[in-house]
Every structure is written in structure tokens, then in C-alpha cells.
Amino acid sequence: MPVPVRGLHLYPSKWVGGGGDPDEKFNEDLTFIDTIGNLNSVKTTLFTFIEQTPPDRALWLGRQREKLTNIRQRPSLSGNQTFVFRCWPEPEDMGQAGDWYNRGRLFAHNLVDPFYHVRFNLQIQYAFMEVANEPNHPDEPFGQSMSAYNDFLRGFYYGERQVGYDFPLVYAGLSKHNPNAWYQDYWVQYHIKHFASKVGVHIYWDGPEVGGYSHRNEEFYQGSPEGKYYRWVKRTLENAGVTPRGIIATEFGTPRNHWNDDDIAQINDECAWWQEWYSDALAGWWCEQALLYISNADPPWEALYAVTQDQLPIIRNC
């Protein structure tokens, strides 16, 4: 029986439909879903497209609905699988309100179109909203500020309810930029406890040495070498009095070798990690979904994490 915590982190771009490279990457992800066939979760993105003026915004929102429909209609994802949606604010979302709380509140208001589509058109029962992405990363809009992101998350929580939705929220997975300080901060713990149903973690770790070269990728390395950083997160939150929260590995993976790619070594390593994650789930480590980062979406790292055709049978059978 396949490990029942396996998910794919799909191509995160806003593009779908209309041709061009982004569409090819997204369609490749759909092929991966169909070929594997026995996943229980996927992750994709939601955007407000607020930077577009009518009628362009309506066009882009329509493309987004098309993207979500295409994913939902995959035969293996047409039941009660878990969907994690990264609600990803653009710079235009950040400029519409003066303080971070109201930015988060208004951001949720501006996502009402995909919210409606997810709940009423696609009837996705298990849908979780991850609020933003790696808020401790310097390239994200929060200035690596815990208080800014916490206010944004809290505003999103109440803004969602103001427009009639109550999707459970995921506290965003963090990058390698000092995540420990965040999880140990009182106000981060407070916001996880009161406003998040799940805790996102990003887990990248060393793969086995292949051809004399290490798989180590310093830029994305986080946590323990064996990829068990989530255990530390769970213990830290639990010791702070945070009651059980599901932990979702909203991104995980180990890179292939730069010079002598070995797809089989890479995917076997990741399947073994999935199995260990499931064992930890059974042992009470709060582990839930684990979403393998599969897309060639972030050059120049695309050669490191993209899934290849020869890996798909191993994912299906792992």
C-alpha cells in the first residue's frame, strides 16, 4: 500500500492557458499527477490578480479557475484528497492598506473568487490555505519581520470570515533564514495557536553522495541532515503550550547531483523520507501531508528538484 501522506508541490506560477513555457510546465505537472495516480494531496497557488484592471482581471481570474479545475479533474484527485493552496500576495496586494493587519484582511477579501470556486464549484472538502510563502526570506514582502507576518496572518483570518469563508489556515513554511528564532518567538507561537490549524515546514536536506560529489545544496539546506527538522518544530511548539497542530511539509526534497545526475538515487532517498515521515505520523509527531517539490519552476535550481519521467514509477510504488 502506498504511503498515505504523499503529495506533490505543483508549478507555482500564475500562468495557465494561452501557450508558452509556463503552460508546458503546468501541463507536465498534470501528466505527473495522472501517471502517478495514487496521490492523496497536492499544493498549488492562489493569486488575487488585483494589479489587473477590468476586464483583464476577470480574464486572469478565469484562467486561475481553469487551472484549479484542471487539477481537480484529474481522476486521482476527484475524491476527498487534501488540497493546500499557497495564497501568495503580490506587491500590489501589499500596497492597498496602511498596516499589515489590514493588508492581510484585504488580501483575503480579494481572493473571494477562488475561494468560491474551491468551495462551491469544485467542492473540495479538505482545503487548507497557506498564507504567503517563507515570510522570513528577504525576497518576500514582510521584511523578514515576525510581527509584520503575524499581523498579516491575523488579518487574513478575520478577512476570510468577513467574506463568508472559514478555510483552515497554514502558518507559512519558512526558509533557511533563521527559522529557529521564529518558532521560539512568543508571538509566533501565539498566532499559530490562535489562528493556524496547521504549521508549514520546508525541508531540504543532503542526498546521498553520487559519483564522488555531495548532493549538498547550501542555499536551500534547512534543519538536520536527515530531514527531521519538523521534529524540532513540534517539540518547540508543544513545549510552549501549543496544542497539537498538523505539520505539513509544504515543500520538501533533496537535490540531484550537479554534474552526474542520478534520478534514481534522488527519488529513492525521497521515498524513504516519505516512509519515515509516515512512521513519525503514526508515532505522534503531528505529521500530515508532505508535498514533494517537483517543478522546474525556479531557475537556476530547476535541474536540482524537477521530477523526471523515470522517477514516476518509483513515486507511484514507494
Bigger pLDDT: 212 vs 93: 93
304-318: per-residue pLDDT in tens?
677 888 899 999 998
Partners of residue 252 on adjacent β-strands = 203, 292
pLDDT at 224: 54
pLDDT at 211: 42
Q: Give me the percent of the chain exceeding a pLDDT of 70.
A: 86
User: Does position 107 have pLDDT exceeding 80, yes or no?
Assistant: yes
When mean pLDDT is compared across 58-72, 129-143, 195-209, 215-229, the lowest value belongs to 215-229
User: Does position 214 have pLDDT exceeding 50, yes or no?
Assistant: no
- What integer is the mean pLDDT of 218-240? 76
Distance in angstroms (rounded) separating the CA atoms of residues 193 and 285? 17
Distance in angstroms (rounded) separating the CA atoms of residues 94 and 50? 11
Domain 6-317, CATH 3.20.20.80 — does that match?
yes
CA-nearest of 28, 44, 42 to 77 is: 42
CA-nearest of 310, 191, 226, 227 to 261 is: 310
pLDDT at 285: 96
- Helix crossing, 21-36 with 56-72: angle to 10°? 20
Cβ atoms within 10 Å, residue 194: 11
pTM of the model: 0.92
Average pLDDT, the chain: 87
| Three-state SS annotation for 255-288 | CCCCCCCCHHHHHHHHHHHHHHHHHHHHCCCCEE
Distance in angstroms (rounded) separating the CA atoms of residues 310 and 315? 10
User: Does position 290 have pLDDT exceeding 50, yes or no?
Assistant: yes
* Percentage helix, strand, coil for the chain under 3-state DSSP, each rounded to 5: 45, 15, 40
Q: What are the grid coordinates assigned to 106, written together?
A: 484585504
Bigger pLDDT: 18 vs 59: 59
Asked whether the beta carbons of 262 and 57 are under 8 A apart, the reply is no
Domain boundaries, the chain: 6-317
Distance in angstroms (rounded) separating the CA atoms of residues 181 and 134? 14
Asked whether the beta carbons of 69 and 26 are under 8 A apart, the reply is no
pLDDT at 196: 98
Which residues does 318 contact at the CB level (< 8 Å), separation at least 6?
2, 3, 6, 267, 271, 274, 275
Contacts 24+ apart (CB under 8 A), 27-35: 28/295, 29/294, 29/295, 30/70, 30/71, 30/74, 32/8, 32/294, 32/307, 32/312, 33/8, 33/71, 33/74, 33/76, 33/77, 34/74, 34/75, 34/76, 35/309, 35/312, 35/316
pLDDT at 176: 83
* Burial class of 111 by CB neighbour count within 10 A (0 to 12, 13 to 18, 19+): buried
Helix (H, G, I), strand (E, B) or coil at 290: strand
When mean pLDDT is compared across 187-191, 204-208, 239-243, 265-269, the lowest value belongs to 204-208
Place of cell 498564507: 131
Q: What are the grid coordinates assigned to 235, written together?
A: 517539540
Contacts 24+ apart (CB under 8 A), 220-227: 220/175, 220/176, 220/255, 220/301, 221/176, 222/174, 222/175, 222/176, 222/179, 227/203, 227/252, 227/254, 227/273
The C-alpha angle 182, 186, 192, rounded to 5 degrees, equals 70
